[in-house]
Structure 1
Amino acid sequence: MKRFWVAWGERYLYNPSLIQKILSVLLLPLSWIYCLLAYIRYLRSRPKSFGIPVVSVGNLIVGGSGKTPIVVELAKHFEKPAIVLRGYGRQSRGMVVVKDKSTILCDVIKSGDEAMLYAQMLDSAMVIVSEIRERAIAEAASMGCDVVLLDDGYGKHSIEKLNLLIAVPTPNPYCLPSGAYREKLWSSKKVIVMMERVDFKRSVTLKNPTEKMVLVTAIARPERLDPFLPEVIEKVYFEDHHFFTQGELEMIVERTGATSLLVTSKDLVKMSSYKKLNISVLELSIELNETIITTVKDYVNAAKN
């Protein structure tokens, strides 16, 4: 049932039917109130410096936009980066140092899938999850990091930072609950808007391909994968951040006769202990425009001085 409502909600926000469009219009008064409250919250905020450069990679909408590979690519350009994020889907609370400069300190259940992916992909990066991002930034500064990369930080208006904003096309331009926007791009807020195929390009490598693959994934808006998919015999979608059990994955293999499960790197971190499963992996990488890289480096260097 939960999977049904998640899929319904994604269609409502990004590819609405006629009935869903009518519902969206009926909910517009609530959207105006929501957007007004978000604007007031923005106006009342006062950006604070934490003694360390902070670069945010975010978007304005609910659902996925591909922030993770961009953060990974940016982190590679610094010696002592820290990745700070909320840790959606984790089964823990408070601040957790997932990885110090060399060692992963907890499991994926405590860290969440995105944080563990960062920890595994970036040898020199510290990774911290916390509902209170300011606390995690202060911790990164105390541990000697030279820059904080904030995953999904546009709305954290009280933090002094460089804002990179990924543009995500949507036919529904309204704030919640009529549309997908958590808040608008306020005219007085300085941001760098990043356009796909202009400021960054995505590419995918397929590892361990087999003859009969079933796509199994738990990411937001999984249809984003379609342009990169090889031929698959079926697609099975779970809600974002879902923790797979070995039993449910084995049932998918048995039902479909698949020779492997095709997953993303984000899904894979939650399956690494399931040794009996044959896994194929879609590894997504990003090529960033040199102008973006230079802009970020210039900001970080100026903030240090």
Structure 2
Amino acid sequence: MKLNTPRWWYDRERRHAPMTRMLLKPLSWVWAAATARRIARADPVDPGVPVISVGNLTVGGSGKTPVAREALRLLDEAGVAAHALSRGYGGRLKGPLRVDPAAHTAADVGDEPLMLALGGPAWIARDRVAGARAAAEAGAGAVVLDDAHQNPALKKALSLVVVDGETRDGEWPFGDGGVFPSGPMREPLRSGLARADAVVVLMPADVPHADPELLSAFGALPVFVARLLPAAPPPAGPVVGFAGIAKPWKVERALDAAGAELVDFAPFPDHAAFRDADLRFLAERAGRAHARLVTTEKDWFRLPPEWRARVVSWPVKATFDDEGDFQALLLRAVQSAR
């Protein structure tokens, strides 16, 4: 969703925007009921290949794509020809279509599919069933489905829910449990966890331990802790950062934690289409500070081609504390579905 994510969504004590929460609550009931009805009425299709779903319970910002990339890498390492499948949010093409980073742009297929395609075969399809079948026909031994926990079209061999593990500064990944638009939830927590097979708690690099209270929210579900780590150091010298993701403030924190000499930071809405005027403004700010521009890998893919040489892409990766156990979970799901 393309929006400025409200910080008060993540305030579970309801100290901020109480009137806004109350006014939006009826719309939340409608949203939750529509989601539940759609899932209950679905008849999931087996596409002929094991499907591993990597989704979340909140509107953006949990780190699904880095986890999906790591799942693809671990499957490939174990000899499984895994293909990524995404809806292609933000792109104009409907698919099914295999993504080619050399030929397609974010305007064609979306930014996240381009990221996934850097590591191996990736597809976009508005029709997830058609996309999974196309991947299977192209030789996929498994499909890693990005952002589809609330999409019941495909039969899933494994449903992973990714949760933002950062709970500092009064933030809570589920806020007060409110469903969109009065809170960050796509559906009630209990409903979403009931369809999950395991939870991945994604921790920032500078927080050593997951919050025990958060871990207790998942009951008997297996929980895997992963860390969002820089795949490369930030640029040396002063930098001006910017990001158009659901929680841009986390990019600012991550740059600080990685030791970047951050002189300024500009947040944009999720999946923002950067205008030339925006980028010229940022370049002027950077020029005054004798700094370089830096952004996330995801945002870099949405930059106009003429700006990519002027902006540093700062990639991150998900690294599991128990990588072997997580890989074994993936392989069990693939083998049991065959």
Could you tell me the TM-score, scaled by structure 2's length? 0.78
- Matched positions, count: 293
1:296 corresponds in structure 2 to: 330
2:56 corresponds in structure 1 to: 59
Q: Does the aligned pair in 2 maintain the 1:87–1:111 contact within 8 Å? A: yes
1:71-96 CA-partner distances (Å, limit 9, x unpaired): 11111122422111111222334433
1:10-32 CA-partner distances (Å, limit 9, x unpaired): 22423598562222123323323
Q: Does the aligned pair in 2 maintain the 1:70–1:286 contact within 8 Å? A: yes
How far the C-alpha of 1:97 sits from its partner, in A, is: 2.1
In the alignment, structure 1 residue 152 sits paired with structure 2 residue 151: no
How far the C-alpha of 1:191 sits from its partner, in A, is: 2.4
1:70 corresponds in structure 2 to: 67
Q: 2:133 aligns with which of 115, 128, 138?
A: 138
User: CA RMSD, aligned part only?
Assistant: 2.5
1:252-299 CA-partner distances (Å, limit 9, x unpaired): 121342421111111222348336854333221111232222111111
2:26 corresponds in structure 1 to: 29
The range that moved more, 141-150 or 79-88, is: 79-88
1:113-150 CA-partner distances (Å, limit 9, x unpaired): 11111222x1xx22111222111111111111111010
- Secondary structure of 1:195's partner? strand
Structure 2 letter corresponding to 1:274 = E
- Secondary structure of 1:201's partner? strand
% identity of equivalent residues: 26
Task: Give distance in 2, aligned partners of 1:259 and 1:178.
Answer: 39
Structure 2 letter corresponding to 1:138 = R
Structure 1 letter corresponding to 2:266 = V
1:6-63 CA-partner distances (Å, limit 9, x unpaired): 33x4224235985622221233233233323322222222322111000011101112
2:83 corresponds in structure 1 to: 82
Structure 2 letter corresponding to 1:116 = L
Q: 1:163 aligns with which of 150, 159, 164?
A: 159
Distance verdict in 2 for CA 1:44–1:264, change over 3 Å:
same
Q: Does the aligned pair in 2 maintain the 1:259–1:278 contact within 8 Å? A: no
Structure 1 letter corresponding to 2:330 = V
In the alignment, structure 1 residue 189 sits paired with structure 2 residue 195: yes
1:108 corresponds in structure 2 to: 106
Task: Give distance in 2, aligned partners of 1:153 and 1:244.
Answer: 26
Q: Does the aligned pair in 2 maintain the 1:199–1:292 contact within 8 Å? A: no
Structure 2 letter corresponding to 1:219 = I
Task: Give distance in 2, aligned partners of 1:37 and 1:246.
Answer: 39
Q: Which runs of 5+ in 1 are unaligned?
A: none
Counterparts of 1:92-107 in structure 2, within 5 Å, are 92-99=93-100, 104-107=102-105
Structure 2 letter corresponding to 1:71 = A
Task: Give distance in 2, aligned partners of 1:82 and 1:106.
Answer: 17
Q: Does the aligned pair in 2 maintain the 1:85–1:128 contact within 8 Å? A: yes
Could you tell me the TM-score, scaled by structure 1's length? 0.86
1:139-169 CA-partner distances (Å, limit 9, x unpaired): 1111111110100011122311110001232
Distance verdict in 2 for CA 1:177–1:156, change over 3 Å:
same
In the alignment, structure 1 residue 216 sits paired with structure 2 residue 242: yes
Q: Does the aligned pair in 1 maintain the 2:10–2:184 contact within 8 Å? A: yes
Q: 2:180 aligns with which of 176, 180, 192?
A: 176
Distance verdict in 2 for CA 1:91–1:41, change over 3 Å:
closer
1:282 corresponds in structure 2 to: 314
1:226-260 CA-partner distances (Å, limit 9, x unpaired): 33212311111222222334553233121342421
Structure 2 letter corresponding to 1:130 = A
1:255 corresponds in structure 2 to: 285
- Secondary structure of 1:274's partner? helix
Task: Give distance in 1, aligned partners of 2:114 and 2:136.
Answer: 21
